[in-house]
């Protein structure tokens, strides 16, 4: 049963309420990003990630205590897939003398290997079965470069969308779509700043995915608006846009609902590796669905779109141009 099939909600009529609500969320998000900032992950800050395997389950609090006593109190410790594997994230370390480290074969061995060995030596004092299964290092310069390139990726994506929607529809539609996408990115970023969820490359990928998802919903609505404009219906622009949103409401809500089922499964059962990614997409799908219904079309209407903007002008005598 299509519960939205014959809906006639006055969505456009509530556009002022939605505008105030969205502005409030945007202001809160901008303030949160400015004041609290992001909890950048290793990809952006630089540092080391060491995954250690134990033969038996270990207590994270005990591991934290061991590392703190070894002057690694700033280490972030969490399970890596199972209670026998832990992931240790360390910010960039100042060089210091290494004592009681096994397997150091040469003085020119990399700082990453030295740090990994020192951490392993510390943990083996607690459990001799500890073994390093993975060790990654990102320099601070690489992290700064990723921040720059990630920001450029978002800008390029938005600029490409601006061109695409302008060519396919009309410039007022493109600005409406961009307003909705910027709205989505700012609010999702604000959520990460408020809750201090770790912001890494997977979150950046999620933001790009949110842009694509939100745009897809928006394009569906815009297509229906164009069809209703070109159908020759004599109605006010606001009424046609409102009818178009209602006609696509079922598709929008059902698509978002089924997507959310998958994302919640990833969030609760996917493990720590994709937790931030799934969280960003969950927030993004909710905000993207809202913006495709309330923001994109309302912004287009505010820019003064009309039926005449989508009907190409016919040249006088154009139908006889093929006659020599």
Query: What fold characterizes domain 47-138?
Result: Alpha-Beta Plaits (3.30.70)
Count CB-CB contacts under 10 A for residue 83: 13
CA atoms of 270 and 12, how far apart (whole Å): 39
The whole-angstrom distance between residue 178's C-alpha and the CA centroid of its chain comes to: 16
Which residue do the tokens 């996408």 mark?
181
Burial code (b: 16+ CB inside 10 Å, e: under 16) for 177-210 equals: bbbbbbbbbbbbbbbbbeeebbbbebbbebbebb
Same CATH topology for 12-40+142-307 and 47-138? no
Cα distance between residue 189 and residue 209, in whole Å: 14
How long is the chain?
A: 324
One-character DSSP codes across 238-274: HHHHHHHHHHHHHHHHHHHHHHHHHHHHHHHHS-GGG
Task: Report which of 18, 19, 25 is spatially closest to residue 190, judged by C-alpha positions.
Answer: 25
Question: Domain segments of the chain: what residues?
Answer: 12-40+142-307, 47-138
Please tell me whether residue 101 adopts helix, strand or coil conformation: coil
Phi-psi region of 46 (alpha: psi -120 to 50; beta: other; left: phi over 0): left
CA distances from 232 to 18, 150, 193, 229, 237 (A): 29, 45, 48, 6, 12
Dihedral angle of Cα 259, 29, 185, 165, to the nearest 10 degrees: 110
Per-residue pLDDT of the chain (324 residues; tens, 9 = 90+): 444 456 788 899 889 999 999 999 999 999 999 999 998 887 777 788 888 999 988 888 888 888 888 888 788 888 887 788 898 888 876 654 444 434 433 333 456 677 888 888 888 888 888 898 888 777 666 667 777 887 888 888 888 888 888 787 788 888 888 899 899 999 999 999 999 998 888 898 898 888 888 888 888 998 898 888 888 667 788 888 999 999 999 999 999 999 999 999 999 988 777 889 999 999 999 999 999 999 998 998 888 877 776 665 555 544 444 444
Beta partners for 52? 86, 132
Contact present, 139 and 46 (Cβ < 8 Å): yes
- Report the pLDDT value the prediction gives residue 110, as an integer from 0 to 100: 55
Give which of 51, 119, 59, 137 is closest to 86, Cα–Cα.
51
Residue 213 CA, distance from chain mean position: 11
pTM of the complete model: 0.79
Instruction: Give the CATH number of domain 12-40+142-307.
Output: 1.20.1640.10
């Amino acid at each position: 049963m299509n519960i939205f099939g014959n809906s006639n909600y006055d969505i456009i009529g509530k556009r002022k309420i939605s505008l105030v609500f969205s502005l409030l969320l945007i202001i809160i998000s901008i303030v949160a990003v400015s004041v609290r900032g992001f909890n950048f992950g290793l990809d952006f800050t630089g540092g080391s990630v060491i995954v250690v395997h134990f033969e038996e389950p270990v207590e994270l609090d005990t591991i934290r205590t061991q590392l703190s006593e070894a002057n690694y109190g700033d280490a972030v410790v969490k399970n890596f897939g199972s209670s026998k594997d832990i992931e240790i994230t360390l910010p960039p370390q100042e060089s210091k003398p290494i004592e009681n480290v096994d397997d150091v074969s040469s003085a020119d061995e990399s700082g990453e290997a030295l740090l990994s060995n020192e951490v392993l030596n510390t943990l083996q004092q607690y459990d001799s079965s500890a073994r390093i299964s993975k060790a990654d290092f990102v320099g601070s310069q690489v992290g700064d470069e990723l921040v720059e390139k990630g920001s450029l990726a978002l800008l390029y994506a938005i600029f490409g969308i601006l061109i695409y929607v302008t060519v396919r529809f009309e410039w007022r539609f493109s600005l409406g779509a961009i307003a909705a996408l910027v709205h989505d990115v700012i609010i999702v970023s604000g959520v990460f700043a408020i809750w201090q969820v770790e912001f890494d490359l997977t979150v950046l990928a999620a933001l790009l995915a949110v842009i694509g998802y939100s745009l897809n919903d928006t394009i569906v609505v815009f297509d229906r608006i164009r069809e209703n404009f070109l159908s020759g219906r004599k109605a006010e622009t606001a009424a046609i846009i409102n009818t178009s949103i209602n006609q696509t409401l079922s598709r929008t809500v059902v698509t978002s609902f089924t997507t959310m089922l998958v994302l919640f499964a990833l969030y609760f059962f996917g493990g720590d590796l994709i937790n931030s990614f799934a969280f960003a997409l969950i927030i993004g799908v909710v905000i993207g669905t809202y913006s495709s219904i309330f923001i994109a079309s309302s912004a287009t209407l505010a820019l003064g779109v009309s039926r005449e903007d989508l009907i190409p002008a016919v040249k006088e005598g154009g139908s006889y141009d093929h006659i020599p």
